[in-house]
């Protein structure tokens, strides 16, 4: 079975500052990795995903993530955050191509401070 | 494109009643839909996988008779919480899998908040 750890439950960041949200995973087989964002009272929206190829993945809203197999990590980064980035961010893994049976982390609440 | 809707967005019911939640893919056909449950300040837990025209596959620990899932068409899946009790109160989220040649992604609905009194 696979698992996902998001060590930081809350991350406060000043507006226009950079941010990194950490995600580590555990799996005995190869995985596909995802980051989702959940705005208040809304469903999840896919930010980016890593399936194969380049380990640096660029997503929507200026976010990017880097897959590090040796460290089993998939940290999410943004060089300059905006108030509108305030949301809950979930890292997820799947061992099946096709985005099936996602295993989610517990989420990180990103709060942007004006 | 790729919009998934859920209805209702919130529902309050009395203990012992049944509640039906609908999940629709509005602009694509979804052979597979997933149902998740999210507790406050916790992650999403997969409850079941729903395939059109066949029985749902439930995750370990999820009561099949309590959470009835029907995937009657390529755009609609329903979750019925039968004889609901306060411990069933939660945020239920569905997702629909859109399989295309170039990509294969789950699209999530906005969720349904169920409160059982």
Q: With an 8 Å Cβ cutoff, are A102 and B32 in contact?
A: no
Distance CA B24, CA A76 (A): 30
Minimal-distance CA residue of chain B relative to A4:
B43
Say if B32 is an interface residue toward chain A (CB within 8 Å): yes
**Tens-level pLDDT at each residue, chain B (117 residues):** 688 999 999 999 999 999 999 999 998 888 889 999 998 777 889 999 988 888 899 999 999 999 999 988 889 999 999 999 999 999 999 999 887 655 667 889 999 999 999
Size of interface A-B (CB pairs under 8 A): 55
DSSP A83-102: GGG-EEEEEEEESBTTTBS-
Q: How far does B35 lie from chain A, in Å, by closest CA? A: 10
Q: How far does B14 lie from chain A, in Å, by closest CA? A: 23
Based on the number of CB atoms within 10 Å of its own CB, is B51 exposed (0-12), middle (13-18) or buried (19 or more)? Answer: middle
Please write the tens of the pLDDT for every residue from A28-63.
Answer: 888 899 999 998 877 888 899 998 888 999 999 999
Say if B51 is an interface residue toward chain A (CB within 8 Å): no
Contacts of A52 (CB under 8 A, 6+ apart): none
CB A52 within 8 A of CB A31: no
């Amino acid at each position: 079975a696979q698992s996902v750890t998001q060590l930081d439950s809350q991350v406060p960041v000043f507006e226009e500052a950079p941010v990194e949200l950490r995600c580590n995973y555990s799996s005995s087989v190869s995985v596909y990795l995802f980051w989702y964002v959940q705005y208040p009272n809304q469903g999840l929206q896919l930010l980016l995903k890593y399936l194969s190829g380049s380990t640096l993945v660029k997503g929507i809203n200026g976010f990017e993530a880097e897959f590090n197999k040796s460290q089993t990590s998939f940290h999410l980064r943004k060089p300059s955050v905006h108030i509108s980035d305030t949301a809950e961010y979930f890292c997820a893994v799947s061992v099946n191509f096709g985005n099936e049976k996602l295993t989610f982390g517990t989420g990180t609440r990103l709060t942007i401070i004006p | 494109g790729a919009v998934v809707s859920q209805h209702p967005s919130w529902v309050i019911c009395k203990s012992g009643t049944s509640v039906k939640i609908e999940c629709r893919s509005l602009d694509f056909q979804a052979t597979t839909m997933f149902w998740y449950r999210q507790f406050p300040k916790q992650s999403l837990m997969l409850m079941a996988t729903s395939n059109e025209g066949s029985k749902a596959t439930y995750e370990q620990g999820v009561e099949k008779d309590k959470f009835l899932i029907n995937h009657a068409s390529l755009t609609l899946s329903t979750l019925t919480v039968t004889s609901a009790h306060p411990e069933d109160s939660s945020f239920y989220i569905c997702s629909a899998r859109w399989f295309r040649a170039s990509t294969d992604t789950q699209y999530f609905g906005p969720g349904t908040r169920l409160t059982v009194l």
